Structure 1
């Protein structure tokens, strides 16, 4: 993270403050506006590849999903709002989201089949903070794509190695499965998705 503005604000204040045409991305973490690190080319290539694969799959299945350019996930408790790298939304449920029309924000698990974070320097947010809050929202599936092996050893092993961690909600709690190298990603949201870790990481370079 390049900068943190320390004045505590509410979610409504954050939305009112948010720049109309931002040069940077911002999130709200427990009332603190956080400026996200500028993305690298590798980071953006990987996101682009994942979006392409996932869009192809939900169109094949004729699911009413879409991926917004900019939208926030707001846990019901506390003053936080996250802008995931890839956010899959279930369009029919947006009618039930009170913040969608005016603030492009969702808070209900029924709206969010899958969320993906591609790890950068703020890996603690992805593995700790966001995992806890996405679990509290009840998001059924959360991927952490750690292509540069930046996460802590307690998350991706020692020695560190590039890993995709898939968190699946079971009885209200996340259970994690980790995938590396030639392993095929197992997704409860897209069970027929035929995608290996190597294919995803080869999109970078």
Structure 2
């Protein structure tokens, strides 16, 4: 596997990604190309079910739910969150990444790297001004959503929604669903 050197020395930029053809999934984090391991089945199932729940309501309000697309946070940072709700006017089927200003909600489904999902990513998303961050944790094979809203440059907790709960938010548009709708993880 070969990869071209960064065009301008130092780390890679978002523009360099157009010239890189790597197998598998990767993202650009502070100038470094980071390979992403395959997700576990639980992760993929929750991602699929959440996107299925959010897609119709997002479209109804002029937004789009997209997954496995990058969020351009800076010239050298283009992570790939598990799911994003973006402004529908920004949607383009030919894009692989969207600028932070087009992103209303970014969702990370916790993987093995809790530091990344609990500290690093939220800090990067907050610096970029993304209004909402949701982190989904696996608690005994049931998804628990922790919703955070950006306030004065930091994410403040809005609610925790787990087994038997209903997520009911009015921003960035009215979103309401039972956690059971994304927890149908049966063999």
Structure 1 length normalisation: TM-score? 0.72
Question: Which structure shows the higher helix fraction?
Answer: 1
Aligned mate of 2:160, from 169, 178, 186: 178
| Equivalence for 2:123 | 132
Which ranges in structure 1 are unaligned for 5 or more consecutive residues?
1-6, 95-99, 150-160
| Equivalence for 1:58 | 58
- CA distance, structure 1, for counterparts of residue 128 and residue 80 of structure 2: 14
- CA distance, structure 1, for counterparts of residue 21 and residue 118 of structure 2: 25
Q: Deviations over 1:14-73 (max 9, x none)?
A: 342143xx4x210111111111121122211111100010012224xx222223454211
Bigger mean CA deviation after superposition, 66-75 or 48-57: 66-75
- CA distance, structure 1, for counterparts of residue 165 and residue 153 of structure 2: 27
Q: Deviations over 1:100-120 (max 9, x none)?
A: 7986322233x1111111111
User: Contact 1:15–1:103 at 8 Å: present in 2 too?
Assistant: no
Q: How many residues in Structure 1 have an aligned counterpart in Structure 2? A: 176
- CA distance, structure 2, for counterparts of residue 103 and residue 163 of structure 1: 30
Question: Which structure shows the higher strand fraction?
Answer: 2
- CA distance, structure 1, for counterparts of residue 67 and residue 152 of structure 2: 31
Shift of 1:182: 2.0
Structure 2 length normalisation: TM-score? 0.79
Shift of 1:173: 2.3
Shift of 1:89: 1.6
| Equivalence for 1:194 | 177
Matched position secondary structure for 1:202? coil
| Equivalence for 1:37 | 37
Which ranges in structure 2 are unaligned for 5 or more consecutive residues?
1-9
Q: Are residue 10 (structure 1) and residue 13 (structure 2) matched?
A: yes
User: Contact 1:57–1:193 at 8 Å: present in 2 too?
Assistant: no
Shift of 1:190: 4.0
Matched position secondary structure for 1:55? helix
Shift of 1:127: 1.1
User: Contact 1:147–1:164 at 8 Å: present in 2 too?
Assistant: no
- CA distance, structure 2, for counterparts of residue 57 and residue 142 of structure 1: 18
| Equivalence for 1:164 | 145
User: Contact 2:135–2:147 at 8 Å: present in 1 too?
Assistant: yes
Matched position secondary structure for 1:193? strand
